[in-house]
Amino acid sequence: MVLIAGLALIGGLAAACFVKAFGIAFLGESRSPQAAEARESGVLLRVPMTILAALCLAIGLLAPRLLPLLLPALPYGAAFPSPALGAGFVTATAIVTRVTAVSGLFLLLVLAGMMLRRALLSRRVVRQSGTWDCGYALPTPRMQYTASSFAQPILEVFAPLLGTRVSSLKPMGLFPDKASHATETPDSFRERVVAPISAEIARRVAPFRRIQEGRVQVYVLYIALTLVAVLVYQFLVNP
């Protein structure tokens, strides 16, 4: 169950990530002149991506049928005995079957809603307008959602683990001239584990930088001395 919960959490975060990427890239107003002039890719680029997306969807919906194909390979990568592995596999298959059934029902409801919407709007005039401008007469791209604002609710849940840093300048007075708000979520593993280890390694190997003379002749001398040392070692070990 813990494994299923972990996979569900990872899947939910991945879905939120792709929704954020799609929303920031394709929804709202263009944030630059170059983005305003962007056009859709050609058919030769869209068809392969559509095929890959359809395969990903098919793998998800057909997971109960595809899981038995993995059973012969599981004993080679799992540290559990075969009886326990078989029982766990049956339980996991049952859970995946229920999840797939709910997902398929949800997709059917979405498709039905899309078809109903198209039928209701087929005889009506559809106009485009600003969806939400918060009372501004002339909204600009700076007034719309960014990646940080979209991810903020999720980051609050994991705030103790992520260590998000916030810097803001609040508006002051009746007619403030400056205001800013910025957030930065560092890579905790890189800052707390990788960076200290890398800094310690760099400190310890710093004295060896003197060996790098930058001249080919010196490097050739290093190679020759290494070969001599190897020959001497072999002569002493195997006279």
H or E, element range at 168: strand 165-169
Is a pLDDT exceeding 90 seen at residue 15?
Answer: no
**pLDDT of 180:** 81
Percent of the chain, pLDDT > 90? 13
Tens-place pLDDT, residues 20-29:
777 777 777 7
Q: Choose between 110 and 157: higher pLDDT.
A: 110
**pLDDT of 50:** 93
Is a pLDDT exceeding 60 seen at residue 211?
Answer: yes
CB neighbour class for 218 (10 Å; exposed up to 12, middle 13-18, buried from 19): exposed
**pLDDT of 86:** 66
Is a pLDDT exceeding 60 seen at residue 80?
Answer: no
Short-list 143, 118, 120, 117, CA closest to 130: 143
**pLDDT of 209:** 78
Going by their DSSP bridges, the two strands 180-184 and 165-169 should be labelled as antiparallel
Q: Across the chain, what does the average pLDDT equal?
A: 81
Tens-place pLDDT, residues 54-63:
998 888 888 8
Q: Is 10 within 8 Å of 4 (Cβ atoms)?
A: no
Is a pLDDT exceeding 90 seen at residue 52?
Answer: yes
